[in-house]
Structure 1
Amino acid sequence: MPDTPITPTERPVHFLHRGQLQQVGGLPPTTTVLQWLRGHAHCTGSKEGCAEGDCGACTVVVATPDAQAPGGVRLDNVNACIQFLPTLDGKALYTVEDVAPTPDTLHPCQQALVQCHGSQCGFCTPGFVMSMWQLYQAHDQAPPREALADALSGNLCRCTGYRPILDAAQQMFDAPRQVLDTAPVAQALAALPDSTLVLGREPGQRFIAPRSLAEFAQWRAALPEARILAGATDIGLWVNKQFRTLGDILYVGQVPELRAITPWADGKGLSIGAAASLEAAWSALAERLPALKELWLRFASPPVRRAGTLGGNVANGSPIGDAPPVLLALGAELVLRHGEHTRRVPLSGFYLDYMKNDLQPGEFLQSIEVPWPTAGQMVRAYKVSKRRDSDISAVCAAFGLTVEHGVITEARVAYGGMAATARRAALVEQALVGHPWNEATVQRAQAALAQDFTPLSDLRASQGYRQQVAANLIRRCWLETRPQAPMAGDQVEVWPAVV
């Protein structure tokens, strides 16, 4: 492999918007979709609220070619304020201006918001419309109200409140169906260029989107200082809030191999490509491990999960990231790649210190290898935060316990929010292994926890609160999994069951 990849010909970003081919060049690679919409396309229906992917006022829907999706196109609602415009290459963009069938009529989701009085000041309404429109396309009939609330958890309203908006989300399914015909969209997207996108010519100012794993590895080896970009759910804030320059950008989103989620050949685990979306990755994990479903639904919001990636969450290494504790409890390993060479490292040895990891120059995360629990192994995961939805954890805990004949034979206990990195609680594990799974062992493990961690106090929680909650979660795990009279999840859940 040559040291420097052959530079493809520079070309503009190609995508569809309002049924027309858009060819955009000459803008900084960190221009956001929202900036382009409002400042260049003069489509001002999408609003800027927080500029950090939290409020949902800027929500748009992106159509991506996907052979597994109905009609060959996957529709994702994402936050336009933190999505960089070049990531739209080869896709179609839909905004609130696009959903009505004619200028004089409303789409059922819009009409339902009118009839249910779901809008007051109206600033958040375009974002709600787009999330509701995506939901409408994905379902033939109204999902349960709780599922509607989960689907809209990335859209915030401070005027009307959520009851009339949820009413509208239910009512929109009662009108005659008006769904997007995705077949022409798929055909139009197939006609767009599929060559590697390179924007910019000057080193340190380029956006490069390779189209294969081998090509990505070649670029990464040649540009070890380049910033790897996935969903921009974190990096987008660096630009919007911290006004940082990113240098050369290597985008993983156009590499099919990095987006793949593949069962192991022996059926004993799952290989999750580093660019697989959080939504797809958590869905695959929760399908096999239902105990992870609540954490999946509470991990950020649907727009963030559909843009962000599991590999990004792992490689970023935030001590309050929710994926690493779960993956640590499952015994996950990482496949790291440099050029044509790969190496495997356990996730437990990947994090070296606060925001520091074992990645070497020119190396990148290729996949996360997750073994399925063995017979007798129980998995539980819990998130504690101030809000139920779309909030950062104060404490996240995950447990992988193997119990044989009432005795714990193996334990992996991991926490986020308790130290400079997400990590396993070694002394808690020692206090558990070899002992019966009973209340005395729980108390022993709780006492050991204080020696494993000395958490900080910050805006999310005090040190004492974190210590108490982390210890309480050991008890909650026991209550749910104890050999005698285990409690169902809803018996230890404090959130209301009905919205």
Structure 2
Amino acid sequence: MPEISPRPIRFVHRGHAIALEGVPPTRTLLDWLREDARPRCTGTKEGCNEGDCGACTVLVAERDDTAPGGVAIRHVNACLSFLPTLDGRAVITVEDLPQPHPVQQALVECHGSQCGFCTPGFVMTMTALREAHAAAGTRPERPAIADALAGNLCRCTGYRPIVDAAERMFELPDAPIDRAALRAQLDALAADTSEMTLEDFAAQRLARPEARIVAGATDVALWVNKQFRDIGEPLWITRVPALRRIATDADGTLHIGAAASLEDAWAALAARWPALTEVWRRFASPPVRHAGTLGGNIANGSPIGDGAPVLIALDARIVLRRGPDTRTLALEDFYLDYMKNALAPGEFVERLVVPPSPEGTQLRAWKISKRFDSDISTVLMAAALRLDADGRIAAARLVFGGMAAITKRAAQTEAALRGRRWDEATLQAAQVALAQDFLPLSDLRASASYRLAVSANLLRRLWLETRPDDPLPASATQVREFRA
């Protein structure tokens, strides 16, 4: 087995290659920027220290031959970014922008800042938005701007002038990031890379079954920042290029590597099943989706995670690897009990496999939470339904998160549906069965009675949108329009 290299963490910062040695693996980029960098980069602020407020937003660039200029640029939360995750990448902070940057000028002109604490984070998010649309030759509309800003909070300005500024910035002179220079610097770093093969990672995992596997650290970083937990010396799964891949077979089967980002994974799912667009936009925030992984969301196994209900409704499989050996399970069989799964010692999630849906399948997924954006689910329902020519239910998969100790199918509700005509009487029978499937808990997010009531209401919405007689269009059952 190859030894774990003690090599430095190498990344580009302020136009120069940085090499850090002897740094604790859980040292965050935010702390390094504010305390260790020279000169200190205090424009990046610490607000919540848990990825909710966006005051610490920075840009991270990495080599990507499919991206403009061969460089992918995304915004992430510095408070959740452990320094080892930056190896081989470039970090761009508000101090790196030419002054005044068009984004900053737009905020001034539109009165988009008051106390200013949150402003650097907004500037970096808006810069990422401007870069993305400038490269594509497009301009976002206000709903898309609001979605892009979902990871940034402002407590005093209000969002209207900030969204105004995001529109205004496209009218000001361009000041693009020099991607050619960035690519050259990243190429130089790539000569000494920490990336490894899938076989090497599997061997390391087998030798260190007790080690914590870390991807984007959007969950693990909270254990460190808020609970002060010692996670030891992690294994960095994002260093395995093979596990970051998303591929499609000739028959339409989708393969999502365990280290593929949430953003890329959900983009692939929503492209195949457009009904998943709303859940995608409401799954965490853009900075969290850029850093976190769908494989991590699934492996962590929270009963209120947004990924598992959708994937189980799609009859997804999970591929587990231990050394050179792999085995495949139905994803619904992966979860055994609260925060317990079927992983054996030395085993890890290699990829998720999502088959094409049978012709005629109607897919829906809805999330209920206290906040619309960037919030934990109270209940998430995902449903895959197929009717026959007579309007009877030929197949039904109903999956709920937030209703039990694990993400779970509503087995008795499904049984009440199959073979019956999809009418009001069948709906009511299914709603009665739902109360037999679940005995949810009451907690800070909702009472048990609320969870049962809202789940029954989601079944009604499913019927309204998919009934064979006069189904309602999506525009009749939602109040917000999502646009690209």
Give the TM-score normalised by the residue count of structure 1: 0.94
**9, 12, 18: which one aligns with 1:22:** 18
**251, 260, 271: which one aligns with 2:255:** 271
Correspondence list, 1:73-152, <5 A: 73-100=71-98, 105-140=99-134, 141-152=138-149
Paired with 1:449 and 1:364, the residues of 2 have a C-alpha distance of: 34
Paired with 1:91 and 1:259, the residues of 2 have a C-alpha distance of: 15
Which position in structure 2 is the counterpart of 1:355?
Answer: 339
Deviation per CA, 1:172-197: give whole Å up to 9, x if none: 00012111121221121011145564
Give 3-state SS (helix, strand or coil) of 2:227's partner: coil
Which position in structure 2 is the counterpart of 1:480?
Answer: 465
2:315 is equivalent to residue 331 of structure 1:
yes
Which position in structure 1 is the counterpart of 2:348?
Answer: 364
Which position in structure 2 is the counterpart of 1:421?
Answer: 406
Correspondence list, 1:418-497, <5 A: 418-495=403-480
2:162 is equivalent to residue 165 of structure 1:
yes
Give 3-state SS (helix, strand or coil) of 1:153's partner: helix
Conserved 8 A contact 1:399-1:412: yes
Paired with 1:308 and 1:139, the residues of 2 have a C-alpha distance of: 23
Conserved 8 A contact 2:2-2:200: no
**254, 265, 269: which one aligns with 2:239:** 254
The amino acid across from 1:393 in the alignment is S
Paired with 2:191 and 2:333, the residues of 1 have a C-alpha distance of: 38
Conserved 8 A contact 1:195-1:211: no
Give the TM-score normalised by the residue count of structure 2: 0.97
Conserved 8 A contact 2:25-2:233: no
> CA shift at 1:423, angstroms?
1.0
2:59 is equivalent to residue 61 of structure 1:
yes
> CA shift at 1:410, angstroms?
1.0
The amino acid across from 1:48 in the alignment is E
2:168 is equivalent to residue 174 of structure 1:
no
**285, 293, 296: which one aligns with 1:309:** 293
Conserved 8 A contact 2:11-2:89: yes
Deviation per CA, 1:80-112: give whole Å up to 9, x if none: 001101111000000011112xxxx31111100
Give 3-state SS (helix, strand or coil) of 1:248's partner: coil
Paired with 2:87 and 2:476, the residues of 1 have a C-alpha distance of: 47
Paired with 2:448 and 2:108, the residues of 1 have a C-alpha distance of: 47
Deviation per CA, 1:347-380: give whole Å up to 9, x if none: 1100000000000000000000001211111110
Which position in structure 2 is the counterpart of 1:154?
Answer: 151
Conserved 8 A contact 1:153-1:301: yes
2:20 is equivalent to residue 36 of structure 1:
no
> CA shift at 1:497, angstroms?
7.4
Paired with 2:15 and 2:174, the residues of 1 have a C-alpha distance of: 21
> CA shift at 1:240, angstroms?
0.2
The amino acid across from 1:234 in the alignment is D
Paired with 2:470 and 2:45, the residues of 1 have a C-alpha distance of: 51
The amino acid across from 2:177 in the alignment is L
Paired with 2:49 and 2:92, the residues of 1 have a C-alpha distance of: 19
> CA shift at 1:6, angstroms?
2.4
Give 3-state SS (helix, strand or coil) of 2:151's partner: coil
Deviation per CA, 1:171-226: give whole Å up to 9, x if none: 000012111121221121011145564xxxxxxxxxxxx52211110100110000
Paired with 2:104 and 2:355, the residues of 1 have a C-alpha distance of: 45
The amino acid across from 1:92 in the alignment is A
* Runs of 4+ deviating beyond 3 Å: 193-197, 494-498
Paired with 2:352 and 2:446, the residues of 1 have a C-alpha distance of: 30
Paired with 1:396 and 1:9, the residues of 2 have a C-alpha distance of: 42
Conserved 8 A contact 1:34-1:58: yes
Paired with 2:422 and 2:252, the residues of 1 have a C-alpha distance of: 26
Give 3-state SS (helix, strand or coil) of 1:192's partner: helix
Q: Once structures 1 and 2 are overlaid, which stretch shifts more, 477-486 or 450-459?
A: 477-486
Paired with 2:374 and 2:64, the residues of 1 have a C-alpha distance of: 27
> CA shift at 1:268, angstroms?
2.8
Give 3-state SS (helix, strand or coil) of 2:230's partner: coil
Paired with 2:102 and 2:282, the residues of 1 have a C-alpha distance of: 28
Correspondence list, 1:208-219, <5 A: 210-219=195-204
The amino acid across from 1:109 in the alignment is V
2:193 is equivalent to residue 231 of structure 1:
no
**386, 391, 402: which one aligns with 2:386:** 402
Conserved 8 A contact 1:8-1:196: no
Measured at CA, do residues 465 and 8 of structure 1 come closer, stay the same or move farther in structure 2, by a change above 3 Å?
Answer: closer
Identity in percent: 59
Whose helix fraction is larger, Structure 1's or Structure 2's? 2
Conserved 8 A contact 2:143-2:481: no
2:374 is equivalent to residue 390 of structure 1:
yes
Give 3-state SS (helix, strand or coil) of 1:434's partner: coil
The amino acid across from 1:25 in the alignment is E
Which position in structure 1 is the counterpart of 2:281?
Answer: 297
Conserved 8 A contact 1:221-1:362: yes
> CA shift at 1:422, angstroms?
0.6
Q: Which runs of 5+ in 2 are unaligned?
A: none
The amino acid across from 2:317 in the alignment is E
2:69 is equivalent to residue 71 of structure 1:
yes
Give 3-state SS (helix, strand or coil) of 2:449's partner: helix
Paired with 1:444 and 1:483, the residues of 2 have a C-alpha distance of: 17
Give 3-state SS (helix, strand or coil) of 1:81's partner: helix
**327, 330, 354: which one aligns with 1:343:** 327
2:9 is equivalent to residue 13 of structure 1:
yes
Please give the root-mean-square deviation of Cα atoms over the aligned residues, in Å. Answer: 1.2
> CA shift at 1:238, angstroms?
0.3
Paired with 2:409 and 2:100, the residues of 1 have a C-alpha distance of: 53
Conserved 8 A contact 1:399-1:414: yes
The amino acid across from 1:97 in the alignment is E
Paired with 2:2 and 2:312, the residues of 1 have a C-alpha distance of: 39
Deviation per CA, 1:44-97: give whole Å up to 9, x if none: 000000000000000000001111111111111000001101111000000011
Which position in structure 2 is the counterpart of 1:207?
Answer: none
The amino acid across from 2:256 in the alignment is I
Deviation per CA, 1:428-475: give whole Å up to 9, x if none: 110111111111111111110000001011111111110000111111
Q: Which runs of 5+ in 1 are unaligned?
A: 198-209
Question: How many pairs align?
Answer: 477
Measured at CA, do residues 423 and 176 of structure 1 come closer, stay the same or move farther in structure 2, by a change above 3 Å?
Answer: same
